[in-house]
């Protein structure tokens, strides 16, 4: 058996009063008062971390970048707050500059978010992960056979595989 709520309101607009009365049936069952928690954080690339919660979360709070904070040695040159948050659960925190340090600890903390029925985040509201380094690659490498030999200096373009923003010219 569900509950029936009777709603009554008096609205005054431009000097005229109007009365509204109605009723609304709700589903049977207990009221959800369980607060959500952050259950995991996983570094996916050198500039993206995926986070998951114990319950479906309410947007826009959960997709507001300012509600997240990054800390720990593995944060490297990433800002404390991500540039953007994508997804509908799990959520991906993305930074548009900087990169984390591989193998070092990171902690993601979230505040000011609610589950889909409005319960505020409880503890734990943070999760730990380990930084992922963006691998280096060298290309294009053009070697003219017969001209390169022992002790030759080869040059090419050094850049990170996962992002075009971290490139430079190098020699090896």
How high is the mean pLDDT in each 10-residue block of the chain (172 residues)? 53 60 64 95 95 96 97 96 96 94 96 96 97 73 58 56 38 32
User: What are the tens digits of pLDDT across the range 55-83?
Assistant: 999 999 999 999 999 999 999 999 999 99
Q: Please give the helix or strand (H or E) that residue 160 lies within, else none.
A: strand 155-160
Residues of the chain within CATH 2.60.40.1220 domain(s) are: 38-130
Q: What is the pLDDT of residue 149?
A: 60
Class of the 38-130 domain?
mainly beta
Q: What is the pLDDT of residue 134?
A: 78
Q: What is the pLDDT of residue 148?
A: 56
Q: What is the pLDDT of residue 91?
A: 97
CA distance 76 to 158: 20
How does DSSP classify residue 51?
A: E
- pTM of the entire predicted model: 0.66
CA distance 95 to 50: 12
Q: What is the pLDDT of residue 123?
A: 95
121 class by beta-carbon count within 10 Å (0-12 exposed, 13-18 middle, 19+ buried): buried
Give the CA-trace dihedral at 17, 23, 27, 30, to 10 degrees: 70
Q: What is the pLDDT of residue 76?
A: 94
How does DSSP classify residue 54?
A: S
CB 91 within 8 A of CB 59: no
């Amino acid at each position: 058996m569900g509950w029936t709520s009777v709603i009554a309101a008096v609205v005054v607009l431009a000097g005229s009063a109007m009365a509204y009365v109605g009723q609304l049936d709700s589903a049977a069952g207990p009221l959800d008062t369980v607060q959500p928690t952050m259950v995991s954080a996983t570094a996916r690339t050198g500039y993206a971390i995926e986070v998951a919660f114990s319950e479906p979360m309410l947007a826009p709070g959960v997709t507001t970048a300012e509600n997240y904070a990054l800390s720990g040695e593995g944060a490297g040159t990433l800002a404390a707050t991500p540039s953007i948050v994508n997804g509908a659960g799990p959520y991906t925190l993305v930074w548009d500059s900087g990169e984390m340090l591989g193998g070092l600890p990171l902690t993601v903390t979230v505040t000011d978010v609610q589950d889909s029925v409005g319960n505020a985040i409880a503890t734990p509201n943070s999760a730990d992960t380990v930084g992922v380094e963006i691998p280096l690659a060298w290309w294009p490498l053009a070697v003219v056979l017969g001209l390169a030999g022992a002790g030759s200096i080869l040059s090419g373009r050094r850049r990170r595989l996962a992002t075009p923003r971290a490139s430079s010219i190098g020699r090896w």
